[in-house]
Chains A and B, each alone.
Chain A
């Protein structure tokens, strides 16, 4: 008979969990494994709320196991290290993103692409090597294998940097992989939410000319004056879209809702690249003619490997890039989820776990 969440591991833990697909979160006692030789223990300070958390607590992807403690944009202070650990020391700051395990031996793992390992273990709602369910960062502490911890540079504000661990790497990885990171390039960002606003910041740091493409004109002022975008296109404005045809080297599309690809493909220059990081759950329509006639491509990308996540954090520290956040107490989380459903946040909620998570 399997043990209860409180008893399955030796160390007490406390967090907020969803119990069913209503997605309502509430206090939850559970436990963490003993800190092994290759592990570190982190006292959680902040955890970002990712849209994936929203999808998963409501079982929108059909694979949710309850009770579920979400959260994979975790930053905290190291409180214990195993004897083989060299990456961080007790007292230093560390982060954990979307992954806490992988097979370690496949081609993907060998290439530092644990995010494409078929046996990857997600930070929450996944089965760990010992068969127990992983629980995420809406909690007071976690134990993680050293390999999957991210060192946090001193100069990065912890709360505003937490979202980089998912949102940041999700846009940084494909921008590098697909070569959409060269000074002078013209780059489009579709959707101005958690992913989109970070993409704008990285793109400016790469020296690119950035255009935000959005359905809402209301976001224009913010995009240009606050985020530093060079221009703004309202995707429903056919004249504007037509005038911008063939002007972009690359576009990152962060939108998960169903939307037409043709207008975006037409915005690309010849040999341009449209990278999808949002995942609409219904198929989209791919017009083939414009891909051929302009030698364009449509590609996907999913988070990033640990090595490149570290690289991304270091890059962000160097260029002072953090997310724009709204810090909330733990007990606001259900309201935050309701607002997230309406896109009512600029641009990421971050839970002040250390100061507000009380049993």
Chain B
């Protein structure tokens, strides 16, 4: 008979979990494994609230294993290291992102692309190697294999840096892979939320001209004056969209709602690239003609490997790129989730874990 979450591991842990697809979170006692030779024990200080957390707790993707402790934008302090751990020591500030394990042997893992390993273990809601379930960062502690822990740059604020561990790498990885970083080129960012606002900042850090493409004119001032976007395009304005046709080298599409790809493809120059990192749950309509006539491409990307996540953190530290956040206490999480559904946040909630779990 399987043990209860409280008993399955030796170390007590406290978190907030969703128990069913209402997605309502509440206090939850569970346990963490002992710090093994290759493990790092972490006291969690902050955890970002990613839109994926919301999808998971509501079982939008049909794979929920309740109770779910979400959270994969984790920043904390090392409390203990296993005997084989050389990179980290007690007291270091570290991060944990979307994955905490992979097979380590496949072609993909050998290319430092653990995020595409067919046996990857996600930080929460996945069955781990030892057949127990993983629990994420809406909790006081976590124990993670050393290969999946990120060094947090000294000059990076812990709270505002936390969302980079998912939102940051999710846009950074495809920007590098698809070659969307040539200074002077023109990047369009569709959607100005957690992913989108980081994409704008990264785009500017790469020396790109950045246009935000959004359904809401209300976001223009913010996008241009505060985030540093060079221009703003309202996607529901057919005249403005037409005037902007064929002007962009790249587009990052962060929108998960169903939307039209045709007008976005039209914005691209010849040989332009549209990269989608949002996850609509139904297929989108795609006209092939514009792809063929303009030699354009649509590609996908899913967060990033550990090596490139570290590279992204170091790049962001160098260029002072962090997320724009609203700090909340753990007990406010359900209200935050309701606001997240309405996209009522600029642009990421971050849970002040350190000050929530007394």
Contact = CB atoms under 8 A, between A and B. Distances in A.
In the complex, which range does the number of interface residues on chain A fall in? 35 or more
Contacts of B291: 276, 298-300
Contact of B285 (A286, A295, A298): A286
Given A277-B292, A294-B116, A295-B116, A300 B297 contact: yes
Given A279-B289, A298-B291, A288 B296 contact: no
A307 to B, nearest CB: 15
Interface string B229-269: 00000000000000000000000000000000110000000
B292 A292 contact: no
**Taking chain B's interface residues, is the majority helix, strand, or loop, or is none over half, making it mixed?**
mixed
A116 B297 CA distance: 15
Contacts of B294: 116, 300
Interface residues of B, number: 35
A34 interface: no
Contacts, number: 106
Contacts of B279: 288-289, 292
A296 interface: yes
Contact of B298 (A116, A177, A262, A299): A299
A108 interface: yes
B286 A299 contact: no
A300 B283 contact: no
Contact of A285 (B281, B283, B290): B283
A280 to B, nearest CB: 5
A289 B177 CA distance: 18
A17 B287 CA distance: 31
Given A279-B292, A285-B285, A285-B286, A108 B270 contact: yes
A297 B174 CA distance: 12
A270 B116 contact: yes
Given A116-B270, A287-B283, A295 B300 contact: yes
Contacts of B270: 108, 113, 116
B339 interface: no
Given A291-B276, A292-B279, A301 B292 contact: yes
Nearest to A291: B300
A284 B300 contact: no
Interface string B82-123: 000000000000000000000000001000010010000000
B27 interface: no
A175 B288 CA distance: 18
Interface string B267-283: 00011000011111101
Given A262-B283, A284-B288, A285-B285, A299 B276 contact: no
A291 B287 CA distance: 17
Nearest to B296: A300
A293 interface: yes
A290 B292 CA distance: 21
Contacts of B293: 300, 302
Contacts of A174: 295
B302 interface: yes
B297 A292 contact: no
B106 to A, nearest CB: 10
A288 B283 CA distance: 6
Residue with the greatest number of chain B CB neighbours at <10 A, chosen from A174, A281, A289? A289
B37 interface: no
Contact of A288 (B108, B113, B262, B284): B284
A302 to B, nearest CB: 5
A93 to B, nearest CB: 30
B284 A294 contact: no
A283 interface: yes
A298 B271 contact: no
Contact of A286 (B116, B284, B295, B301): B284
B157 interface: no
A280 B277 contact: no
Contacts of B276: 288, 291-292
Contacts of A270: 108, 113, 116
Nearest to A256: B288
A269 to B, nearest CB: 9
A199 to B, nearest CB: 15
Contacts of A283: 262, 285-288
A275 to B, nearest CB: 9
B288 A288 contact: no
Contacts of A301: 292, 295
A298 B286 contact: yes
Contacts of A291: 276, 298-300
Contact of A294 (B271, B281, B300): B300
A186 to B, nearest CB: 13
A113 B113 CA distance: 34
Given A177-B295, A291-B276, A300 B288 contact: yes
B60 to A, nearest CB: 12
Interface of B: 108, 113, 116, 174, 177, 261-262, 270-271, 276-281, 283-302
16 contacts: A262-B283, A276-B292, A279-B288, A279-B292, A286-B261, A288-B280, A288-B300, A291-B299, A291-B300, A293-B302, A295-B301, A296-B299, A296-B300, A297-B298, A299-B296, A300-B294
Interface of A: 108, 113, 116, 174, 177, 261-262, 270-271, 276-281, 283-302
Name the 3 nearest CB pairs between A and B, nearest first: A300-B291, A291-B300, A297-B299
